[in-house]
Amino acid sequence: MGNHRVAALYTLDIGKVLSQSHYLRALEILLDAKAMFMVIGDRLGAAECTRSIGDTLRMLGRYDEALSNLEQAKADFETLGSRLGVAQCTKSIGETLRMLDWYDDSISNLEPAKAEFETIGDRLGAAQCTRSIGEALRMLNRYDDALLNLEQAKAEFEAIGNRLGAAQCTQSIGNTLRILNRYDDALSNLEQAKADFETLGSRLGVAECMKSIGITLAMLNRHDDSLSNLEQAKAEFETLGNRLGAAQCMQGICDTLCMLNRYGDALSNLECAKAEFETLGDRLGAARCTRSIGDTLRMLNRYDEALSNLEQAKTEFELIGDQLGIADCCRSLGYLASAQGHFERAKFLFRQSLAIYEQIGIPNPTKECRRVLEELQSLTSSSNVYTWSRAF
């Protein structure tokens, strides 16, 4: 019995190591380890395998299966009286719900998990929860609160010597700064995180940073560098079996192609990316693609199709509760209305988007909406509106 347990523990450890990047192989090994624990009647070991299987399924974008395993593991840990196991599962459930765009539910799981980790003296678990709460707050457009949590988590990771956690926080801080249009600060953080991930041998972390760097470079009009980073990141995600990351890169590549006026190339790839997001159950990713499709169709003067896609995206963002997405759609719909000569409608839409941008603190679009509203007020001919509506 003792030798069988040692073998099962060894198999579990191998699976956990592989789950850092080799997800499919890790899944096979973790399933084997669980079977070994079940044969010898070790319920605690089997529950730990179930939890790790859930975490691995999350990394593969198989969120429903991940939740099923994590809920089962949590129930098993509760039966066994393992407070640590319950807290770890609650944290993982919160992280999975965040990937499904259920941000309030995510935080509702992460906060009690953090409290439990603090009670039992697990600083690492508490820091991981703080970081994940910061991520969820960013998706709720609460950027100042997000940065506060991410900085706090980073300091805690550094204090306990966890370089991987600190690097993940640096990456998340960079992503948040990009949304706030602080592109140079964002790049600085993302490059630092990428270097840290490379030192630590985290291929997933490096790929995530390359993706974010590519998106940021596009905002700085460094399109060739943007495409280079996004294509490299996409290839790495595909190698790792991370379909979500690959789809996000495809969307970023398409958005960059639009900036280069390569609308035909962008449109076909956006449809593919949207289909992948829908397959993975990522509503936010699908909604963003729908908005980008609408913007691309607008630039191709296919106004009816553009309107349909932008209205659909706006509705989906409203269901998700993504204020930034709603504002972006209102702005795009404003440009579309003005291009069709519906100037009063355009002003109404730009005022809507401006109010949201001001509320959540995004400076560049705020300035843009104010400028466009001023131009609309003084507009004297449809030729003028064509000039600036095409410029977006």
Distance CA 303, CA 98 (A): 34
Domain count, the chain: 1
184 assigned to some structural domain? no
Predicted confidence at residue 13, as pLDDT, reads 53
To the question of pTM greater than 0.85 for the whole model, the response is: no
Domain-embedded: residue 9 = yes
Domain-embedded: residue 263: no
Q: Is residue 276 part of a domain?
A: no
Q: Among candidates 45, 89, 44, 47, which has minimal Cα distance to 70? A: 89
* Predicted local confidence at residue 369, as pLDDT: 96
Which domain covers residue 10, as residue numbers?
Answer: 1-81
Q: Please report, for the domain that includes residue 33, its CATH number.
A: 1.25.40
State the pLDDT at residue 274.
96
> For residue 5, what pLDDT is reported?
60
Residue at 43 is within a domain: yes
Q: Do the domain assignments include residue 59?
A: yes
Model pLDDT, residue 12: 55
User: Residue 12: inside a domain, yes or no?
Assistant: yes
* 33 within some domain: yes
Residue pLDDT tens, the chain, 392 long: 555 565 555 455 554 554 555 778 888 888 888 888 888 888 998 999 999 999 999 988 888 999 999 999 999 999 999 999 999 999 999 999 998 889 999 999 999 999 999 999 999 999 999 999 999 999 999 999 999 999 999 999 999 999 999 999 999 999 999 999 999 999 999 999 999 999 999 999 999 999 999 999 999 999 999 999 999 999 999 998 889 999 999 999 999 999 999 999 999 899 999 999 999 888 999 999 999 999 999 999 999 999 999 999 999 999 999 999 999 999 999 999 999 999 999 999 999 999 999 999 999 999 999 999 999 988 745 455 444 444 44
